[in-house]
Amino acid sequence: MVIMDKGKTLTQKDNLVFQSHCMVAFIQELANANFLKSPSYEWVKFNDKDLKFFIRDQIGILNQGTVLLFLYAMLVVPKELIHSEYQVEFGELESWLKERISDFESTYKNKQIKLNEVNLLDKIRNSVSHATVVFHKNLKIEFVDNYGSSNTSFKLLMTDFPEFLQKLQNIFKRYFEQFRSK
């Protein structure tokens, strides 16, 4: 358990949600601070020097790998932990997503399914969990969820991802504000 301010102790559930959120925020802050171009980064010793330069010169901090890590931390981990407590907020995020996605296709037993019949957050969660996320050269992220006779895919612009992530983080922040006020 982790002790927070005012002597409050985090349960295992709270701790998982809190640390997942903190690591996402920390990685974002490293990127915002341009850490890879800082003297501090130069001082870091890597066992694999090629990896150090590859990260700095090729992929950076915010890349396809961190997109997957962020989504896993913010959607997969908390699914059973906080989703039911914030159904309204997740519902608002779902509506936001439905306004922004493109190329939506969904079938169940070869029957077309309408967008309003699909929970996109569940589909993103499944796509991330099963590593069926595709990053297209046209700067779109495609989420693919194939399960038995159910197949769903849709795309989100990479330029919409920061806002999507911020909306997810706002749900986490609200969770911790409520925790602190107890």
Domain membership of residue 163 as a residue range:
5-181
pLDDT at 145: 96
Please name the helix (run of DSSP H) or strand (run of DSSP E) that holds residue 140, with its range, or none.
Answer: strand 140-147
Total domain count for the chain?
Answer: 1
Binning the chain into helix, strand and coil, the percentages to the nearest 5 are 65, 15, 20
User: Tens digit of pLDDT per residue, the chain (182 long)?
Assistant: 344 555 667 788 888 888 998 999 999 999 999 999 999 999 999 999 899 999 999 999 999 999 999 999 999 888 878 888 899 999 999 999 999 999 999 998 889 999 999 999 999 999 999 999 999 998 999 999 998 888 999 999 999 999 999 999 999 888 888 877 77
pTM: 0.86
Digit-coded pLDDT (tens) for 159-179: 999 999 999 999 988 888 887
pLDDT at 49: 85
Other beta carbons less than 10 A from residue 153's beta carbon:
19
Digit-coded pLDDT (tens) for 61-90: 999 999 999 999 999 888 878 888 899 999
